Every structure is written in structure tokens, then in C-alpha cells.
Amino acid sequence: MAQTEGARASWSGKWAFILAAAASAVGLGNMWRFPYLAAKYGGGTFLLTYVLLVFTFGVSLLLLETALGRKTGQSAIGAFKAFGKKYAFIGVLASAVPFIITPYYCIIGGWVTKYTAAYLVDGPDALADGGDFFTGFITSNVESYIWMLLFMALVFIIVGLGVKGGIEKANLVMMPALIIMAVGIAIYTLTMPGALEGAAYYLTPDFSKLSPELFISALGQMFYSLSLAMGIMITYGSYMRKQDSLTSSVTRIGFFDLGVSFIAGLLIVSAAFVAVGSGDAVAAKAGPSLMFITLPNVFADMGGMATIMGFLFFLLVLFAALTSAISLTETLVSIVQDGMKCTRAKALGIVIAFVVIAGAVINAGYNGLSFIEPLGAGSSMLDFADFISNSVLMPIVALLTCIFVGWIIKPKVIVDEVKISSPFKLEKAWAVMIKFIAPVLVTVILVAYVAAQFGFFSM
Ligand code: PHE
């Protein structure tokens, strides 16, 4: 264990923090959800909306959370409690989110691990069979669990090595590798016949697709992608030193996450375009099938490059998933450690037990327990966990956080914390954002997601 018994962890410097926050941000959300949303909502139109949201709303909330963490030196529950016992519930709600996300994130991580290995073991053609390979795998009673556990083991080992000895080192290797692979694969993909047409579709704004749904989807995606409203950024802020600038850190995190989403979208939309021939057809391949069924068809057609491209692509996604799962698990460890006042080692033990058991139960939703369809026919327990965390809890936590800072403790508390390490030119605009704009926007997403789920309109 890298930390001394019971002591709180800390980053070795500003760049370690930025890298860790970016590593948390860049994940499965960037790799398959962003590209699909961009394809669905008219390419450039979605990109523009998303950029606008990240640099107004997204960065403002990132700043709020990191400053709150640094000021109090606590993870989510303690951070809110520091201002009065009655506010601890906001932290409890925020902390519930990573407990729900981590187990199912590791299941998808297991799928990605399986695919990475399968390119080397079974070859690209075996994976390009129109979906039977994927369905057979996730419904298996043994194999799907083994790959989930393998992915979890990688995550637990790195978190077990501590913040400096494990997480920082892993990020330092995986994040640059991720960028290089993403750019390399994107360039190669664009040389395939038909791919440039896909790129044009992705980049050109189609303003006829501008709609409330586009806006709401972009907002929800931004939350998930920046790992907001679940206590992660509060925890990470609490490991920060007082001399490191918060404003420039959060702007860089926003850029980084956006950059990776942009490249992933370019790569995936162009590649999928090659396979299915039109933007609407790409958009129709929502969810897991785009990555696990459509893309393998594209790779299989790459001839001599098929194995290596497929392998590298899934390795890229694996790195993105791993760094996010590590950050989720680290947050859980920190919550348990602060909440139970125990050692880091004991907290990790508890977290491992929880994630393994919850993961196994949710994974059973695709095989042993597939008769449980919580959101209607064809839905899985994983869909349900995703819905509760992203569409219900996260907007509620974001709303409460904004009200708490904007109206109860007052923006000045955060502004003062920010100013310890850097000037804060946009302080007035930021306060307006937190007090007025953000609460309204968040209420809109919350109502819209829940209404969409119950069929009032479709998204
Ligand atoms: N932001 C990650 C992604 O885009 C997901 C994530 C959610 C990571 C919550 C950590 C916490 O995939």
C-alpha cells in the first residue's frame, strides 16, 4: 500500500490531478455514446451544441466540485456535512451514483476486454458475424462472468497500489497511449473508401436536426462524460494542493474530454458509415451494437490490417474504460474510508466485495436472471442501473449542489477557494450560472429523461 495507514491520499502535483480527472472523464461515454449521439443529431449541429455546453455549464460545475473538495478536504459526504449535518444527504445521494455505476461499468469493461483478446484469439472474422458472437457471449453463464472479473481484477490491483503508486502511474501510461491509438486509427479509417463521406456527415451541421431532444441529450452526455454530479470531482479536488490553479485545470479537463470525444466520433461515425452507407443508418445502430456488432464488420473488411486494427481499437476502448473504472473505484474507496474511518486497505476490501457481488447480479440480467426486465420488454438490469444513475440521480444531485452553493452557502465561499490559487475573471458569470442557469437546465433534463422513459416522447 502506497499510503501510510489511514492517511488521506494526495496528488503529486497539478498535472497528476488534470490527468486523473481527464482519465476519469474519458471513458465508454466518449467511445460509443458520443459518436452515436452525434450521428443521430445531425453531426456538426450536435458538435456545436456540445462544445458550447462543455465550456459554459460543464466547466462551471467542474470548478464548483473541485473547489468544494479542496476547501473541505473531504469526499462528497464529508464535504457537504462540513457546512452542517443537514446537508450531508446531498453527499449521500452523490455517493450513491458511483456505487450504482461501478458494477455495471465493469461488466461493459469485461465485454471490451473479451473483444480485445478475441481479435488475437478468434480473429476478426469470428467477430463479424452479425451479432451472434456478441449475444452468445453476454448470455453465457460462465464466460461473461470470467471476463467481468478479469476486468475488475485489473482495476482493483491498480487502485490497491494507491493514488501515487497505482492510479497516477497507470494514467501516465494509458492516457498518452489512448491518444496515439485514437489518432492513428482515425487516420487509417479515413483512408477507407467511403469513409470521407462519413466524416463529412459528422462534421457538417444539419440545422434541421436542431431540437429540444438534441439539447437534452447533449446535456446528459456532458454530465456523464465529465463525471459530474457523483462526488468524483469533489474527491479529486480534496487531494489537490492549495497552490494549484483550479480554473486552468478544469478548462484543460474540458478540452481534453472534448478532444477525445471528437476524435472518437470522427473515427466511429466514419467507420460505421463505410459499413452501413448513410448517416441515418449509423444513427439507427444505437447503443452497444454500434461498437460490438457494426464496427467488427468494418474491421473484418480491412484485409491484412483487420486483426491489428480491431485489436488496437478495442485496446483503446479498454484503456478508456479502465481509467474510468479506476476513478469510480477510487471514489468508492474514499467514501468508505471517510465514512467508516477505517484504513484504505479495509475500505478497498469492502469495495471489492460490493462491486463483485453487485456486478455478478447485474450481469445475471443477461443470462440467469434475464426474465427481469425492469424498464419494459427487452430491457436489462444494466439498463435500469444506467437509467437510475444517469437520468435520475445525477440531475437531482446537480440540482441540489447548485442550490446548495448558489443559495445556501453562497457562491462567495467557492469563489474565495478558487482565488487562493488563481485570479477568477469570470466570477460574476459563474455565479449567475450556478444560481440561475444551471438549476433550470438541470430541471429540464430531469423532467425530460423521466418523461421519455415513461413514453411521453422519444429521445
Ligand atoms: N465519464 C466516463 C465516460 O465518459 C464515465 C464515468 C462516469 C466515469 C462516472 C467515472 C464516473 O465513460
What CATH number did the domain enclosing 173 receive? 1.10.4160
| Cα–Cα dist 285/214, whole Å | 17
In the reported structure, the alpha carbon of residue 405 is separated from the centroid of ligand 1 by a whole-number distance in angstroms of 24
**Ligand 1 pocket residue status of 328, Cβ below 6 Å:** yes
At 286 the pLDDT is: 65
Report the distance separating Cα 14 and Cα 249, nearest Å: 8
Q: Measuring from atom 6 of ligand 1, which residue has the nearest CA?
A: 227
Confirm or reject: Cβ of 225 under 6 Å from ligand 1: yes
The reply to whether 90 falls in a domain is yes
Q: Is 30 in the pocket of ligand 1 (CB under 6 A)?
A: yes
Please tell me the distance between residue 61's alpha carbon and the centre of ligand 1 in angstroms: 15
Q: Is residue 4 part of a domain?
A: no
pLDDT in tens, 30-85: 997 899 889 888 889 999 999 999 999 899 999 999 999 999 998 899 999 999 99
Kindly state if the Cβ of 53 falls inside 6 Å of ligand 1.
no
Using 50, 70 and 90 to split pLDDT, how confident is the model at 210?
Answer: confident
22 CA from centroid of ligand 1 (Å): 10
* Mean pLDDT (the chain, rounded): 89
Mean pLDDT in residue range 374-403: 85
Question: Residue 410: left (phi > 0), alpha (psi -120 to 50), or beta?
Answer: left
The per-residue pLDDT for 453 is: 74
- Alpha-carbon gap, residue 319 to 324, rounded angstroms: 9
Q: Is residue 248 included in any domain, yes or no? A: yes
Q: What are phi and psi of 425, to 5 degrees?
A: -65, -35
- CA dist 180 and 312 (Å) reads 11
Q: What is the DSSP string of 86-154?
A: GGHHHHHHHHHHHHHHHHHHHHHHHHHHHHHHHHHHT-HHHH-STTHHHHHHHT-SSHHHHHHHHHHHH
Dist. CA 283–CA 287, nearest whole Å:
10
Cβ–ligand 1 distance for 294 under 6 Å, the answer no
pLDDT tens digits for 247-267? 999 999 999 999 999 999 999
Residue of 26, 227, 263, 323 to test ligand 1 pocket, by largest number of atoms within 8 Å of CB = 227
Q: Is the CB of 113 under 6 A from ligand 1?
A: no
Mean pLDDT in residue range 126-144: 90
Ligand 1 in contact with 313 (CB < 6 A)?
no
Q: Is the CB of 29 under 6 A from ligand 1?
A: yes
Closest residue by Cα to atom 9, ligand 1, is 227
Does 224 contact ligand 1 (Cβ within 6 A)? yes
CA distance 177 to 196: 25
Q: Tell me whether residue 375 is in a domain.
A: no
Range with the lowest mean pLDDT among 48-57, 137-146, 183-192, 388-397?
388-397
Cβ(264) – ligand 1 distance below 6 Å:
no
Task: Provide CB contacts within 8 A for 111, sequence distance 6+.
Answer: 134, 137, 138, 144, 147, 288, 292
Give mean pLDDT, residues 387-415: 91
**DSSP 8-state symbol, 166:** I
Average pLDDT rounded to a whole number, residues 259-284 = 86
Q: How confident is the model at residue 131 (pLDDT cuts 50, 70, 90)?
A: confident
Ligand 1 centroid from CA 23, angstroms: 9
What separation in Å is there between the alpha carbon of 174 and the centre of ligand 1?
16
Q: Please indicate whether residue 24, judged by its CB atom, sits closer than 6 Å to ligand 1.
A: yes
320 within some domain = yes
**369, part of any domain:** no
Count of CB atoms situated within 10 Å of the CB of 81: 19
Tell me the pLDDT band of 208, cut-offs 50, 70 and 90: confident
Ligand 1 centroid from CA 456, angstroms = 28
What is the predicted pLDDT for the residue at 456? 65
Asked whether residue 293 carries a pLDDT value surpassing 50, the answer given is yes
Rounded percentage of the chain residues whose pLDDT exceeds 70: 97
Residue 201 grid cell: 456527415
Euclidean distance between CA atoms 121 and 195, whole angstroms:
28
Q: What is the pLDDT of residue 375?
A: 77
CA of 100 to the centre of ligand 1 (A): 12
Q: Is the residue at 266 inside a domain?
A: yes
Distance 277 CA to ligand 1 centre (A): 30
Least confident of 123-127, 272-276, 284-288, 315-319: 284-288
What is the per-residue pLDDT for 304? 85
Distance 221 CA to ligand 1 centre (A): 10
Between 1-5, 307-311, 349-353, the lowest mean confidence (pLDDT) is in 1-5
Above 70 in pLDDT, residue 152? yes
Domain holding 248, by residue range, is: 14-355+386-453
Q: pLDDT at residue 272 above 90?
A: no
Q: How far is the CA of 140 from the centre of ligand 1 (A)?
A: 26
Which whole number is the average pLDDT over 144-161?
Answer: 97
Quote the ligand 1 centre to 254 CA distance (angstroms): 13
For residue 2, name the pLDDT band (cuts at 50, 70, 90). very low
Mean pLDDT of 431-447: 90
Q: Is 80 exceeded by the pLDDT of residue 458?
A: no
* Dist CA 193 CA 195 (whole Å): 6
Q: Is 27 in the pocket of ligand 1 (CB under 6 A)?
A: yes
Q: Whose CA is nearest to atom 7 of ligand 1?
A: 227
Mean pLDDT value of segment 445-456: 78
**Of the candidates 209, 221, 212, 205, the residue with the CA atom closest to the CA atom of residue 53:** 221
Ligand 1 pocket check for 227: Cβ under 6 Å: yes
Q: Show contacts of 5-9: CB within 8 Å, 24+ apart.
A: 5/343, 5/344, 6/337, 6/342, 6/343, 6/344, 8/73, 8/238, 8/239, 9/162, 9/163, 9/164, 9/239, 9/334, 9/344
Predicted confidence at residue 457, as pLDDT, reads 60
- For residue 327 and ligand 1, the question of a CB distance below 6 A is answered with yes
Count of domains forming the chain: 1
| Cα distance between residue 293 and residue 282, in whole Å | 12
What was the pLDDT predicted at 1?
A: 33
Interval 395-410 mean pLDDT:
94
pLDDT tens, 321-334?
Answer: 999 999 999 999 98
5 assigned to some structural domain: no
Strand partners, 205: 43
Return all residues near 139 (Cβ < 8 A) that are at least 6 apart: 366, 367, 370
